[in-house]
Amino acid sequence: MTLIDKRMRMLAFVAAALTVLACGPKDDEPGGGDKPRPTAACNLVESEPPHRHGKGVEAAVTAYCDPAPQAHVLTIWLEREGSDGKSFFQVGPEQRYTTVPPKNGQVFPVVYAGCVDGQWRVRARAEGSGPDGIPFKFALPLDESHIAIIKCS
């Protein structure tokens, strides 16, 4: 992924966040006025698609939160396409992070020490409780997880 692709993803996230803020309730609507409206505004973006890293495979996800939630658990794992050519299966352990991501984003890597030729993708899930204590849970959308062909030999 090029630097331009990374910047385009960051711009898309900022535009989406600004749209959410601009379209919030007005002063005369329920939830508007002086009432606090904290919400969990977190997002996941694939920042590094799967690629060879030494003798293994590595990928990374960038997480953003603004405002910061009370709790945030990010789980990342790698998947490889099965022999049927349709299904993906988890390879290696999940990597868990309990760090609350900053509003400008933080990169979280996942590494599998082995390498098997094939098509790989990264998956991620975030869960926790927002600033107002309301629980949230969401995953990196499948259509935003690029499939990479890895050759190990």
Is the pLDDT higher at 18 or at 62?
Answer: 62
> Cα angle at 13 between 9 and 80, to 5 degrees?
55
Dig out the tokens for 91 from the structure.
Answer: 């390879």
The residues, ordered by sequence, that sit 6+ positions from 103 with a Cβ below 8 Å of its Cβ are: 64, 65, 66, 67, 68
Q: What number of other Cβ atoms are within 10 A of residue 142's Cβ?
A: 10
* Confidence (pTM): 0.73
Is the pLDDT higher at 9 or at 17?
Answer: 9
85-140: pLDDT as tens digits: 999 999 999 999 999 999 999 999 999 999 999 999 999 999 999 999 999 999 99
Q: pLDDT confidence of 153, banded at 50, 70, 90?
A: confident
126-141: pLDDT as tens digits: 999 999 999 999 999 9
Is the pLDDT higher at 34 or at 146?
Answer: 146
Amino acid 73: pLDDT = 97
Please name which of 111, 142, 105 lies closest in space to residue 124, comparing C-alpha atoms.
142
Pure H helices in 26-137: none
Fold category of 38-150 in CATH: Immunoglobulin-like (2.60.40)
- Tell me which residue has tokens 């989406």: 16
What percentage of the chain reaches a pLDDT higher than 90? 69
Dig out the tokens for 56 from the structure.
Answer: 């293994």
d(CA 69, CA 7): 24
